[in-house]
Structure 1
Amino acid sequence: MGLHGAGFRHRALVELDADACATLRKNVLANPEWDGCEVLQRDLKSFEPADLGCVPEELALLSGGVPCPPFSSAGKRLGREDDRDLFPVMLKWIDHLRPRAVMIENVKNLMERKFDDYREEIAEDIQWFGYKVYGWNILKASDFGVPQYRPRAIFVAIRKDVRAEFHWPDPAGYASLSVADALVSSMYRRFRDSGEPGWNDGYERWLGKAESGKAAPTLVGGSKKHGGADLGPTRAKWAWRQLGVDGTGVAEEPGDLKHPERDLYGPLGPKLTVSQAAILQGFPEGWKFSGRKTAAYRQVGNAFPPPVAQAVGESIMATLRASDAASAGQEKARALVEPRVAPRRDRRDDFCGTVVS
């Protein structure tokens, strides 16, 4: 969604999880703005890039949320020894497709010293493929208008024939957003529509704590090996409690509310619904998630916040367009000196991108 907002047209979205694919199909395939985009449920370990049907060097961008568990605390940080590590697969796709730009996202733990050698190997391989590597940068979602701290490690590389420099997005132009700012409307509706006596008192208690002006701690999606959905480890739950939110579980949506005393009026405050967690990730309220509550929450908690993806995508797009403008100017100057017999075919203004989740 973030890269789409940055101006990229997607060729394909490749994802293994069935519920996540259902979410993509529900939101993308019915939207004419996404015409030409395929949603492919594939295991990237057995899906060959040649099967995508793209000509090498055709794509503007290959972007991937390479699985985080090999580098996360919950995943035991086994790195390349973890069978869930897909960096070798990502390198294969880059080598085959040769996109003009590459963007990779992962958890901030990837920046720890124990992974220094692995990060350097990845960067060296991509550089050897013919790219200028702009390295890894930690971007915080809260710096880009997302009401959640959420630091993430982002990698960008630009093919060497691109005639412009990439610059990381500047967070200076983004306003900060607190949990209260983001959830005030939806939380008010939840309490009001519960029909419970004294609902306004419950809402005011939550608002009084949430108005601390703080962004939320990082949402944790977990994995299928993890139990039910909750908002993270003990320290995160304590931080949520300071914001008036019970982080021990996820609430039912208002229309499905069966246990108001558990989901809204518990001693620790209201639990978040999946749709509220999505707001804290920067998703618009119109984006719908498929699957049961836990499956839907995991999609939200594991997502790369769209506003951050858009900020990085806009910087990549600016680089590609600046290069195209420079090339067009050079072609025009050459044509004035040596007119061509055949007219020059203009470069397409629309860029294709492949997002590999």
Structure 2
Amino acid sequence: MNSIELFAGAGGLAMGMANAGFHHCGLVEWNPHACQTIRENPQRYSDAHGKWKLYEGDARGLDYASFGDDIAVVSGGPPCQPFSLGGKHGGSLDTRDMFPEAVRSIREIRPKAFIFENVKGLLRQNFASYLEYTILQLTYPFVTRCAEETWESHLARLERHHTSVPIPGELRYKVLFRLLNAANYGVPQKRERVFIVGFREDLNVEWSFPEPTHSEDALLHSMWISGDYWERHKVPRSKRPTQSTKMAARVSRLSALRLGDELLPWVTVRDTIRDLPDPVKSPNNKVLNHVYIPGARSYPGHTGSPLDEPAKTLKAGDHGVPGGENMIAMPDGSVRYFTIREAARIQTFPDDYVFHGSWGEIMRQLGNAVPVKLGEVVAKHVAAHLRAVGA
């Protein structure tokens, strides 16, 4: 099945789509460093169908007709700064808001389905009306906004359209959105992101988001009840952390339950980097992009990611890596920045993936990326339902 990736960034979601069996007819990205990263990893986006094309530039100038009429899925992560908890919170007033462009792509390409990803901040109460507006635009992409119409007036018109008698033959989509925690799908990061997925109504697809495959309870069970976690990592009892009173009570409740075999433990930072050399002790190691960066420090609200939990959300920041973020918090209380390779593993990029730019620029790419594995899980679920209806 053919797909198009908008706002591709460093290629996390696009790679997940490719891993799920989609063939990219084109990837669209404006950032030159991210574009070069994609160019340097062609094997991750091509398949037996032939080469893909990278469009470097503003998606708002793109002619979607050039992609042809056989596009199964449009995917992408519209720039999230307007809604990010760490951003300026401009929402619909922010010129970086690319949701209108996402809607245009659906209107002009008319794909069988779409997958869009955005930050948790999109669900904040002060953006509730704009989220409703976005969902209704994606549901009715041909009910377009007039030149002099405010988005609030357009929203009211869309609401009236939504509650009126359906127009026979009208192009519309069944749209769902949900906040997904990447850790619940095997990503070593507690990264919460909103996914918006829609299927063309005439396909009659019955769909729901994929069920979690991993859980925190299963991790706690493997640590404090079975002990498998510590034994796997060869951590002696004397080096294991002490349970807090709250954690001890939780573990006590878990020990009285029988956990099902269907859920695996959350993947931790230690799980993820265990086979990498220590970049401090081995500065001349041969691992790609695995270089120690000095200067990390901890301060209130920015204490790094504990070694024996999934990482906190990797962040991008307007000016590179935010101070105190994107760090490992070691059991002895010390902290250091994640190397590029460690951060890439946390975002589930393969070890041979090459990133372009300075350390700060690459960490920005990683902080903005969709975890490859999470993108693949959602894309495979979408693909399976499209195949089930013969689409």
Normalised-by-shorter TM-score class: 0.7 to 0.9
Matches within 5 A, 1:170-209: 170-172=211-213, 175-186=265-276, 188-194=277-283
Q: Which amino acid aligns with 1:190?
A: P
Distance across 2 between alignment mates of 1:96 and 1:244: 53
Matches within 5 A, 1:96-245: 96-129=108-141, 130-172=171-213, 175-186=265-276, 188-194=277-283, 213-223=308-318, 226=319, 228-230=320-322, 236=325, 240=327, 242-243=329-330
TM-aligned CA distance change 1:175 to 1:13, over 3 Å: farther
- Give the C-alpha shift of residue 54 in structure 1: 1.8
Number of the residue aligned with 2:389: 323
TM-aligned CA distance change 1:174 to 1:19, over 3 Å: farther
Residue of structure 1 aligned with 2:374, choices 308, 330, 338: 308
TM-aligned CA distance change 1:137 to 1:91, over 3 Å: same
Residue of structure 2 aligned with 1:5, choices 19, 22, 25: 19
Q: Which amino acid aligns with 1:216?
A: A
| Counterpart secondary structure, 2:271 | helix
Greater RCO (Cα-Cα under 8 Å, separation 6 or more): 1
TM-aligned CA distance change 1:101 to 1:212, over 3 Å: same
- Is contact 1:142–1:215 with CA below 8 Å preserved after alignment? yes
Distance across 1 between alignment mates of 2:369 and 2:331: 24
- Give the C-alpha shift of residue 78 in structure 1: 1.0
Q: Deviation per CA, 1:57-110: give whole Å up to 9, x if none.
A: x21100010000000133221111000001111111110000000111000010
Distance across 1 between alignment mates of 2:358 and 2:192: 27
Q: How many residues align?
A: 280
| Counterpart secondary structure, 1:89 | helix
Distance across 2 between alignment mates of 1:60 and 1:154: 18
Q: Deviation per CA, 1:37-63: give whole Å up to 9, x if none.
A: 11110111222323x3322xx211000
TM-aligned CA distance change 1:54 to 1:195, over 3 Å: closer
TM-aligned CA distance change 1:190 to 1:145, over 3 Å: same
| Counterpart secondary structure, 2:196 | strand
Number of the residue aligned with 2:353: 287
- Of 113-122 and 5-14, deviating more is 113-122
Percentage identity across paired residues of the two chains:
31
- Give the C-alpha shift of residue 31 in structure 1: 6.8
Distance across 1 between alignment mates of 2:306 and 2:120: 28
Distance across 2 between alignment mates of 1:88 and 1:195: 47
Unaligned runs of 5+ in 2: 1-14, 142-170, 214-262, 286-303
| Counterpart secondary structure, 1:158 | strand
- Is contact 1:12–1:38 with CA below 8 Å preserved after alignment? yes
Distance across 1 between alignment mates of 2:39 and 2:125: 39
- Is contact 1:244–1:269 with CA below 8 Å preserved after alignment? no
TM-aligned CA distance change 1:127 to 1:31, over 3 Å: closer
Residue of structure 2 aligned with 1:36, choices 37, 51, 59: 51
TM-aligned CA distance change 1:271 to 1:143, over 3 Å: same
Q: Which amino acid aligns with 1:279?
A: R
Distance across 1 between alignment mates of 2:331 and 2:342: 14
Distance across 1 between alignment mates of 2:46 and 2:64: 26
- Give the C-alpha shift of residue 32 in structure 1: 5.2
| Counterpart secondary structure, 1:137 | strand
Number of the residue aligned with 2:217: none
Structure in which a larger fraction of residues adopt helix = 1
| Counterpart secondary structure, 2:96 | coil
Distance across 2 between alignment mates of 1:79 and 1:86: 10
Distance across 1 between alignment mates of 2:341 and 2:284: 20
- Is contact 1:104–1:156 with CA below 8 Å preserved after alignment? yes
Distance across 1 between alignment mates of 2:284 and 2:35: 36
- Is contact 1:244–1:270 with CA below 8 Å preserved after alignment? no
Distance across 2 between alignment mates of 1:66 and 1:212: 31
| Counterpart secondary structure, 1:94 | helix
- Give the C-alpha shift of residue 29 in structure 1: 5.8
Distance across 1 between alignment mates of 2:140 and 2:281: 59
- Is contact 1:144–1:174 with CA below 8 Å preserved after alignment? no
1:277 maps onto 2:343 in alignment: yes
TM-aligned CA distance change 1:212 to 1:305, over 3 Å: closer
Distance across 1 between alignment mates of 2:305 and 2:81: 31
1:91 maps onto 2:103 in alignment: yes
1:15 maps onto 2:29 in alignment: yes
State the TM-score, normalizing by the size of structure 1. Answer: 0.72
Unaligned runs of 5+ in 1: 197-208, 246-266, 328-357
